[in-house]
Amino acid sequence: MMRSGEYKNSPEFSEKDRAIIEWSEHVTMGTASERDDIYENVSNHLSDVALVELTMTICYLDMRNKFNDAMKVPIEEKNYIERSLNRKKDPAELKAYLQAVIDEWPEEFPEEIA
């Protein structure tokens, strides 16, 4: 596991990777708006759409982490996650789940707000 800042000199990361990690750090610390150089660097590697999606994902995960910390939500144990991923998939169970989604699917979606 790498410590914060070690990515800057690691050969494991491309320039694009480093720009994304640096942007992620500044968004998380709340300093992204003060660093035009960091924004320019990451925007040289990503499209506007990709940068918006990346930033939204970072903010969402930060919010989730803060919520979980505040509510003292325990982190799942590794073996629980592995068991979930390796669990035998039951086609009938999946079909029932998808049917429930379809049954609750709205006939119409709200119009977009301009």
Looking up tokens 């006939």 gives 107
What pTM value is reported for the model?
0.63
Q: What is d(CA 102, CA 97) in angstroms, rounded to the nearest whole number?
A: 9
Per-domain boundaries in the chain: 6-103
Please give the average per-residue pLDDT across 7-12, as a whole number.
Answer: 87
64 class by beta-carbon count within 10 Å (0-12 exposed, 13-18 middle, 19+ buried): exposed
Angstrom distances, CA of residue 67 to CA of 3, 26, 63, 75, 88: 24, 20, 6, 13, 32
Q: Does residue 114 carry a pLDDT above 50?
A: no
Rounded to a whole number of angstroms, the distance between the first and last alpha carbons of the chain is 45
pLDDT digits (tens, 9 = 90+) for 54-79: 999 999 999 999 999 999 988 877 67
Q: How far apart are CA 33 and CA 28, in angstroms?
A: 11
Close Cβ partners of 58 (under 8 Å, ≥ 6 residues apart): 23, 24, 27, 28
